[in-house]
Structure 1
Amino acid sequence: MRPVNAIITKVVDETPTIRTFFLDTSFELIPGQFVMVWVRGVDEIPMALSYDNAITVQKVGPATSALFELDVCDSVGIRGPFGNGFDIKKGYILLVAGGVGAAPLAPLAERADSMGIRVVTLLGARTKDELLFRERFEAAGEVRIATDDGSAGKHGYVTQMLDNPESFDQIYCCGPEIMMKRVLDTVAPSKAQFSLHRYIKCGIGICGACCVDGLRVCRDGPVFPGEVLKKTEFGVYGRNECGERVKI
């Protein structure tokens, strides 16, 4: 699985801390899948595909900071796409997106809308300026907003808007793990799917760095049914960059 050289064709500032990098390489994307992005001389990191030909990145560490130094005509190495994506169910669906967790959910919203599925999105961020892909979600259906500081929508957490979750046929969630654990504890696990963020090194299930109680996030995920996660350490323990088990 050697990286393919991908040229950056466009860079979009989505929020003060998040950018989308469009590439000259397209993928047959299942919403929720990820690619391994090789920032030469720095590191290789997993990134969810936010479009068929783009990744959306939040500046949080050395590799993402190095990505933010790149511009049009620069290049990165890409491996993938890897993992399983969301299983799109027909009916009435709810998306719960926190922060940059909106990235894999936006193409899901668009795919579901194109299939005639009714979509409601709960979109949360720290501030109004950090709301990601609001227009894309609004184009697909109803959107309800929450911000930590109250600058837009409800003053509070996105999980506080989980009213009547039983009315939805399927619930899809991506965001900080503590947020997703609250969703899992609130909804029926049998009709919920979650996209996990963990340290991923190989991307193909060999190294075990991303394991959750024996489940390999890169290979068995990153999308898992709620009833599977309910039986694991999800939301309680994670792994650091050395693979050590740490309390969340």
Structure 2
Amino acid sequence: MYPTNVKITKIVHESPSTRTFFFDREFDDAQPGQFVMVWIRGVDEIPMTLAYKNAITVQKVGDATEKLFELKEGDELGIRGPFGNGYTIPEKDENILIVAGGVGSAAIALLAEYAMNAGACVTTILGARNADELLFIDRFAACGSLHITTDDGSAHRCGFVTDVLSEFDSSRFDRIYTCGPEMMMKCIFGILSKEEVLDRTEFSLHRYFKCAIGVCGACCMDNGGLRVCKDGPVFNGMQLIDSEFGNYMRGPSGNKKKF
């Protein structure tokens, strides 16, 4: 698949380290949790989840994203996709819980809006390192009940999303979705495993992608060989039992990188 050329129409500074880039094209066939491959010409092609039908939210963490932050409105990018499996859209009157951390909030905010429009009852736990890094508060609040935590206590409750989760009766939720730093999700996995509700959970994983269509094997997970780009990036919690999840991932050369 060749990249589609898109023009940047608007750039929103969401936080000191995060920006949202809007395009002149909407990916109407994209589902929440799916991703696109973003080609920053002359630098790299990287996977990014759609935060809106026509936008990606980016945190500056490497060469490609640093170059992306240098672009201005009117500049162009190449986009391939959407790819992968997204989140399961809940049905009317289902009671769902969303647990979002850091820039992972971008991947799951669209799900919250889909769920609300489907008639589901949405509860969100939103966390970040500090008040400045909280993302999409208004979007989540518009969809239902919202609980906010910050690591340093600079906004709302001091602590982690897992502190709030531990106070909930997880069995009352029909579906539980999460996206954020993998160690955060690993802790969530542990809590929900003990409560025996993993079968109703969905986790969005980040791995190194090359082809993005399940051919090259760069993103295959131990054990079992699940391809994050094709079989994921969203997985049911039961699929992650006894896998590399929360322990390590592989870099461009296949070397293990521990979390």
Same fold (TM over 0.5): yes
What is the CA distance between 1:45 and its match in structure 2? 0.2
TM-score (norm 2): 0.94
How many pairs does the alignment contain? 248
Partner of 2:219: 210
Q: What does 1:134-173 align with in structure 2 at a 5 Å threshold?
A: 134-162=137-165, 163-173=168-178
SS of match in other structure, 2:249 = strand
Per-residue displacement from partner, 1:65-101 (whole Å, max 9, x unpaired)?
1000001110010000000100122310000000000
SS of match in other structure, 1:217 = coil
Partner of 2:112: 109
5+ long unaligned stretches in structure 1 = none
* Aligned equivalents of 1:244, 1:211: Cα separation in 2: 12
* Aligned equivalents of 2:219, 2:160: Cα separation in 1: 27
SS of match in other structure, 1:190 = helix
What is the CA distance between 1:159 and its match in structure 2? 1.3
Deviates more, 1:89-98 or 1:40-49: 89-98
Partner of 2:244: 233
Q: Note if contact 1:184-1:230 (Cα within 8 Å) is conserved in structure 2.
A: no
Partner of 2:38: 37
SS of match in other structure, 1:106 = helix
Q: Note if contact 2:90-2:175 (Cα within 8 Å) is conserved in structure 1.
A: yes
Partner of 2:63: 62
SS of match in other structure, 2:20 = strand
What is the CA distance between 1:246 and its match in structure 2? 2.7
Partner of 1:80: 81
TM-score (norm 1): 0.98
* Aligned equivalents of 1:243, 1:89: Cα separation in 2: 36
Per-residue displacement from partner, 1:101-143 (whole Å, max 9, x unpaired)?
0011111000100111000110000001100111000000111
Partner of 1:180: 185
Could you tell me which amino acid in structure 1 is paired with residue 25 of structure 2? T
* Aligned equivalents of 1:197, 1:22: Cα separation in 2: 22
Could you tell me which amino acid in structure 1 is paired with residue 75 of structure 2? D
What is the CA distance between 1:148 and its match in structure 2? 0.7
Query: Are positions 1:16 and 2:16 aligned together?
Result: yes
What is the CA distance between 1:12 and its match in structure 2? 0.5
* Aligned equivalents of 1:211, 1:222: Cα separation in 2: 11
Q: Note if contact 1:36-1:47 (Cα within 8 Å) is conserved in structure 2.
A: yes
SS of match in other structure, 2:213 = coil
5+ long unaligned stretches in structure 2 = none
* Aligned equivalents of 2:236, 2:147: Cα separation in 1: 24
Q: Note if contact 1:12-1:21 (Cα within 8 Å) is conserved in structure 2.
A: yes
Query: Are positions 1:121 and 2:114 aligned together?
Result: no
Could you tell me which amino acid in structure 2 is paired with residue 219 of structure 1? K
CA-atom RMSD in angstroms: 0.9
* Aligned equivalents of 1:208, 1:134: Cα separation in 2: 37
Could you tell me which amino acid in structure 2 is paired with residue 184 of structure 1? F
